[in-house]
Structures are given as structure tokens and as C-alpha cells.
């Protein structure tokens, strides 16, 4: 499948590498490819500059958001949640129409300091805002409840049988996403329901952030036992 991953941070890079290794044709999307290649320092969360990652992954092209989305059959939103609507706007709704839009972002708002708060929350989710802004895209929220390494390689935890959620209005789109999740090694894929159920998946983040600080590692996940 031709997959465009919008986002050049840890998630975008990790999923790009994983989907490419599975045989998909992957393109990464960014605001300005030249500017992204020109960065020399670590990003806000300490990841090495994009060019360093790309020197080891030269088979994965980097394009502007719209050019990346235009050539894809499926689009992944792996952009900063506070900026996702703007990033997807740059990708252009015509390039998202009819396509599965796999949304892994979190609506984290750092403007009041740490820990971040969720915005939107409770009565709305970022996934719903994205679906509302791009009604012809087939939005599926998933993978936002675990770190990037586990998204791409769930088996790296000793107990690899942990859970991942999917939310969305389009059953076929959720099936397509579930197929990709299975190919990555996810076994316990829980369909939470329509796109409003993404509120629940996004509201797991405050718990996730507390666990991160308490456990001293981001390498953990939720497992739903029943």
C-alpha cells in the first residue's frame, strides 16, 4: 500500500521505518522539506535531527504535507496534536478525501506548563475535530496510548500481548487499520466504537503520563484483562 505519514518526529520516523520494512511504499510529510533537512540540533523532545535519521533511511522520501498525502492510499497523522488541524489543512482536504486517515496524535496542550492538559477533552476529542474538519476522510484513531517504539514493535515487551484501541465511524477503514496493526504484531485490537469513542482513548493520556513518571520508563502499555 502507498502510505503517507505526516510528521517527522519520533512517531513518524518509527512508523515510516516499520511500514517500509513490511513492504509498503512510504512517504513522509513535513511543512517544508528543505527546512526539515536543514535542522542540525535535536528536536523539542531530544530526538536527533531528521537528516541523521534520513541518512540511514534514504529510501523513504520527504515531501511537503500536500505532496505526500496526494500520492498515498492511506494517510497517517503523526503531527503535534495542537497543530494537527493546521498540518492536515496544509495536506489539503482533496488529498485526504476517501482515504483512511489513521490518527495517532494526542491533543496535548503544554501552554500552561507541565504536565500538559488535554484540549479538547470530555465532550469532544481531537479525532472528532479532525473528522469534522475533513468529512470525506475516513478517520480511525489508534496507537495514541503507547510510545512510538511499541506502536511499531509491540513484541519488544516481555508480555507482548497488550492492548490497542481503534475508534472510527467507517467499519471498513477500521478493518484496514486493524490489518496494519496485526502486521506490526498487535494481537489485542479492541474496537471501541464510533469516532466519539476516541474521547476515551485520548483521555487515557493523563494516566499514561503519570505512569511514565512513576515507572521511570515509557516502555509500558495498557493491557485489558477480561
Query: Please, how many CA atoms are within 13 Å of residue 140, restricted to the half-sphere of its CB?
Result: 28
* 7 in contact with ligand NAP (CB under 6 A): yes
Looking at the Cβ atoms of 87 and 130, the one nearer to ligand NAP is 87
With binding defined as CB under 6 A, does residue 221 bind ligand NAP? no
Among residue numbers 158 through 187, which ones bind ligand NAP (CB under 6 A)?
none
Contact string (CB under 6 A) for ligand NAP, positions 77-96, x = contact: -xxxx-x--xx---------
Binding to ligand NAP in span 42-71, by CB under 6 A: 44-45
Number of residues that bind ligand NAP (CB under 6 A): 25
- The CB-side HSE value for 46 (13 A sphere, CA atoms) comes to 0
Out of 147, 176, 197, 221, point to the residue binding ligand NAP (CB under 6 A). Answer: 147
Q: Which position among 60, 137, 148, 184 is part of the footprint of ligand NAP (CB under 6 A)?
A: 148
Smallest gap, in angstroms, from Cβ of residue 18 to ligand NAP?
Answer: 13
C-alpha cell read off for 198: 476516541
Determine phi and psi for 169, rounding to 5 degrees: -90, -15
Cβ pair 29, 68 in contact under 8 A: yes
Q: Which is nearer to ligand NAP, 52 or 172 (CB)?
A: 52
Report the residue from 4, 30, 70, 176 that binds ligand NAP according to the rule CB under 6 A: 30
Place of cell 511514565: 212
C-alpha cell at 132: 469534522
The CA-atom distances, in angstroms, between 53 and each of 25, 38, 114, 137 are: 18, 13, 28, 30
Amino acid at each position: 500500500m502507498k502510505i503517507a505519514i505526516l510528521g517527522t518526529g519520533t512517531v513518524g520516523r518509527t512508523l515510516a521505518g516499520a511500514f517500509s520494512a513490511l513492504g509498503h511504499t512510504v512517504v513522509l510529510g513535513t511543512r517544508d522539506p528543505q527546512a526539515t533537512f536543514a535542522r542540525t540540533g535535536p528536536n523539542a523532545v531530544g530526538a536527533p535531527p531528521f537528516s541523521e535519521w534520513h541518512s540511514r533511511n534514504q529510501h523513504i522520501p520527504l515531501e511537503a504535507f500536500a505532496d505526500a498525502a496526494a500520492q498515498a492510499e492511506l494517510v497517517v497523522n503523526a503531527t503535534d496534536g495542537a497543530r494537527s488541524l493546521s498540518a492536515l489543512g496544509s495536506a489539503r482536504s482533496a488529498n485526504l478525501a476517501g482515504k483512511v486517515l489513521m490518527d495517532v496524535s494526542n491533543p496535548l496542550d503544554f501552554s500552561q506548563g507541565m504536565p500538559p492538559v488535554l484540549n479538547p477533552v470530555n465532550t469532544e476529542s481531537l479525532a472528532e475535530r479532525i473528522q469534522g474538519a475533513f468529512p470525506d476522510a475516513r478517520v480511525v484513531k489508534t496507537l495514541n496510548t503507547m510510545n512510538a517504539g511499541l506502536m511499531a514493535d509491540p513484541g519488544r515487551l516481555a508480555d507482548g500481548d497488550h492492548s490497542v484501541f481503534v475508534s472510527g465511524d467507517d467499519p471498513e477503514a477500521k478493518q484496514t487499520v486493524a490489518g496494519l496493526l496485526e502486521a506490526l504484531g498487535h494481537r489485542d485490537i479492541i474496537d471501541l466504537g464510533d469516532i466519539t469513542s476516541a474521547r476515551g482513548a485520548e483521555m487515557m493520556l493523563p494516566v499514561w503520563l503519570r505512569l511514565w513518571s512513576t515507572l521511570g520508563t515509557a516502555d509500558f502499555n495498557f493491557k485489558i484483562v477480561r
